[in-house]
Amino acid sequence: MRTYLFWLSLISTLACQTAKQEDSTSEKKEMTFTDPHTYARPDESVVTHLDWKAEVDFGSKTITAQATLTLKNSSNAQKLRLDTKALNITDVLVDGDSATYTLGGPDEHMGSALDVTIVPNAKKVDVYYTTSPGAEALQWLAPQQTADKQHPFLFTQSQAILARSWVPIQDSPGVRFTYNAEVKVPKGLLALMSAENPMEVSEDGIYRFQMAQPVPAYLLALAVGDLKFQSLGTRSGVYAEPSVIEKATSEFEDLESMISAAEELYGPYQWDRYDLLVLPPSFPFGGMENPRLTFATPTILAGDKSLVSLVAHELAHSWSGNLVTNATWDDFWLNEGFTVYFEQRIMERLYGREYSEMLASLAAQDLLEEIESMTKRGNGNDTKLKLDLAGRNPDDGVTTIAYDKGYLLLRTLEETLGREKFDAFLKSYFEKNAFSVMTTEEFIRQFEQFTADGESQPDLKAWIYQPGLPANVRLPTSGKFMTVDQELEKYRQGSTAAQLNTGDWTSHEWLHFVRSVPEDITSGQLSELDNTFGFTTSGNSEVLTAWLVQAIRHNYTPAFDRLERFLISTGRRKFLSPIYKELLNMDGGREMALRIYEKARPNYHFVATNTLDEMLGIELNN
C-alpha cells in the first residue's frame, strides 16, 4: 500500500502545461492519496513511457513481449517496483545490462510485485516475458465464438487492475505514461489498440501504434481479429467483424454529432480520433472507454439506436475518467458518476429532455433497488460514494452507487447552483485537471472553492461519506413514464394487452413497462403480453433481460428456450447477473442455472465468471 504526494502542476505532460497556462490563477494543489491496489511506488521512481514489442500467439493463447519502460527516478530510488500477475518473466535489463530482480508471492487480487534493482540514474528497464494462458485481462476466442466464425479473436479488458496480467507496469490510475507498440499477429488479422490505429490489414501481420497522450495502465487495450473499418465522419468510425459492420454503421450514424455535443458542453475532445470497436458477444461489459477506441458489446446494436446512450457514456469518459482520472478505485464515482451525468447531458442535447429524463428515471429505479438490496445484505458501507476497497477486489465497487448515486449528486449540484453555473464549474474542472488525477477530497475542495460563500449547498459530505441517500433527495420523474403508468393502471383494471395505448413507445418505455407489471401477474397473463408485444423475441437486450427476469419470477416457461440461448450467446455481466440471480430464486432454478452455466461458461470472460462463480457457489479453476 503506498501513499503518494502529488502536485498536480508538477505532473509534466503537454496537456497539463497547457492547462496550467490557461489556469494561471490556480495555486499548487497538494494531493495525498493511497492506492491500495498497486505494489508500485511512483513517488520514488515512476514510469513515464512504455515501448511494447509483442507477438500474439493464438495457438498457445499467450503473448510474448518485451516491455521497455522509461523511468523518472525522482528520489534516487534503488528499486523499481512494478505490478505483474501470472507473467512468466524470462529476463530483465537495466539500461541494456542484465539486472537483479525478484518476484513477490502472488496475492489473489494484486498479483506479484516485481522488484528490479536500479541505479539512481537508470533510464530504461526492459522486461522480457510471456503471459499465461489464463491471463485475466485477455480473452481468447475460437472462431466459433465470433460473429463470422472464421477466425480467432483476442481482446483485452484492463480495468480495473488487470493490465498487470499482460504488461508489467505501475498499474495504478494515478500513474500516466505514453506508449508505442509493435505487435505481430497472424497474417490477415487486424490489430487495434487504445492508440493511433490502422484502418487496414497489414501484409506482414505487424502493426505499429503510438499513443502520444499519457494514460493510466487501466486504459491499455488491444484487440486482434478479422475486422473491417467504416468511417462515420472526419474524426470517427467503427470497426467490426465483416458481417456486423453494416449494422454498426447505421446504428452509430449520430456519432459525429455526439462528439460535437460533448465538446459544446465541456470543452474540446483531446484525443484526436474517436472510433468504436464492436466486439464479439462475450465482451463482459456494455462498453469500455479505451482512449481513441471505445470497446463495445454487440448487444448495443438493437437496430433502432435505442441503446446509443452507451456510446454517449463511453465518449463522455474521454473527459471524466480519461482526462480527469479517479486517483484510486475508492474514488471510482468520480469516473462513473460524472460520466453518467455527462452522458445524460449529451442525450438531452441530441434527443431532448423528455428522452433523457426517461434514462434518468430508469437510473433512479436501479439505484433504489440496489441500495435496498445492498443494505439487506449488510453491505451498507458500499453504498457510500467514497469506497473502502483495500484488500478487496476493486470490482466490488462496480455497483450502481458509483454510477447512479454519483449521477444524482451531480444532478443535485446542478439544481442547487443552476445549470449555467454548474456547467461553468465542470468546464473549468476538466480544463484545470486535464491529464491528471482527482481524489474525492480534492473534488470537494475545488467545488467549495468555486461556489460562493453563504450560498445554499447540498450536504456534499453526507452524500459522499454516508450510506444510502440523503432524506431530502429529489428523484427524477419522467412524464413519459407517467403515461406508461396510466396504461399499466388500465391493465390492472382489466384492459387486455391489445387495448393498451403503446403506439409510439421507445424501448425505454417498454423497459419501464416490463419492470412494472403487477407483482401477482400470472404466466397466462405474461403469455398474453408476449403474444401481443413479442417480448421474448425482443432485439433490445435491456428489454429482453427485464422480460426474462419476469418470466422466471412468474414461471412463464415459453420464454425459457430464449433464456437459455441468450445466456449462452451473451457475455455481458449486466445481463447475466440478474437472470442467474432470479433463477436461483426459482423452484428448481438452481439446477437449471447450473446446467446452462456449464454450457455457457466457456464463452464468458474472466470478469463475468469471477462474479458468477461466486453467485452460483461453485469453485472451478480457470
Tell me which residues are annotated as active site. Answer: 314, 403
- Partner residues linked to 306 by β-bridges: none
User: Does 285 participate in binding ligand BES (rule CB under 6 A)?
Assistant: yes
Rounded distance between C-alpha atoms, residue 12 and residue 27, angstroms: 16
User: Does 538 participate in binding ligand BES (rule CB under 6 A)?
Assistant: no
Determine the longest span between alpha carbons in the chain, in angstroms: 81
Report in angstroms how near the CB of residue 218 gets to ligand BES at its nearest. 8
Rounded distance between C-alpha atoms, residue 412 and residue 617, angstroms: 40
Scanning 158-166, 329-337, 512-520, 577-585 for contacts with Zn ion by CB under 5 A, the matching segment is 329-337
Phi/psi of residue 207, nearest 5 degrees: -125, 140
Report in angstroms how near the CB of residue 350 gets to ligand BES at its nearest. 15
Q: Which of 49, 574, 581, 601 binds ligand BES (CB under 6 A)?
A: 574
Please name the helix (run of DSSP H) or strand (run of DSSP E) that holds residue 91, with its range, or none: strand 88-94
Residues in 394-413 at the binding interface with ligand BES, rule: CB under 6 A: 398, 403
Scanning 38-46, 124-132, 279-287, 416-424 for contacts with ligand BES by CB under 6 A, the matching segment is 279-287
- 415 within 8 A of 473, measured Cβ to Cβ: no
Nearer to Zn ion, 225 or 571 (CB): 571
Q: Which of 292, 313, 345, 512 binds ligand BES (CB under 6 A)?
A: 313
Alpha helices in 109-194 (DSSP H): none
The count of residues interacting with Zn ion (CB under 5 A) is 2
Q: Which of 280, 286, 291, 337 binds ligand BES (CB under 6 A)?
A: 286
Scanning 334-342, 479-487, 569-577, 579-587 for contacts with Zn ion by CB under 5 A, the matching segment is 334-342
Q: Which of 50, 288, 460, 500 binds ligand BES (CB under 6 A)?
A: 288
**Residue 279-318 contact track with Zn ion, rule CB under 5 A, x = bound:** ----------------------------------------
Nearer to ligand BES, 99 or 175 (CB): 175
- 184 within 8 A of 154, measured Cβ to Cβ: no
- 331 within 8 A of 440, measured Cβ to Cβ: yes
Rounded distance between C-alpha atoms, residue 1 and residue 4, angstroms: 10
288 binds, among ligand BES, Zn ion, none (CB under 5 to 8 A by kind): ligand BES
Contacts of 150 (CB under 8 A, 6+ apart): 143, 226
User: Does 330 participate in binding ligand BES (rule CB under 6 A)?
Assistant: no
User: Does 310 participate in binding ligand BES (rule CB under 6 A)?
Assistant: yes
User: Does 159 participate in binding ligand BES (rule CB under 6 A)?
Assistant: yes
- Neighbouring CB atoms inside 10 A of 362's CB total 20
159 binds, among Zn ion, ligand BES, none (CB under 5 to 8 A by kind): ligand BES
Rounded distance between C-alpha atoms, residue 453 and residue 461, angstroms: 16
Q: Which of 94, 110, 160, 279 binds ligand BES (CB under 6 A)?
A: 160
Rounded distance between C-alpha atoms, residue 311 and residue 258, angstroms: 9
CA 430 to chain centre: 19
Could you tell me whether strands 293-296 and 274-278 are parallel, antiparallel, or unpaired per DSSP bridges?
A: parallel
Nearer to Zn ion, 65 or 255 (CB): 255
Q: Nearest to residue 158, comparing CAs of 193, 185, 191, 189?
A: 193
Binding site for ligand BES (CB under 6 A): 159-160, 285-289, 310, 313-314, 317, 336, 398, 403, 574
Binding site for Zn ion (CB under 5 A): 336, 339
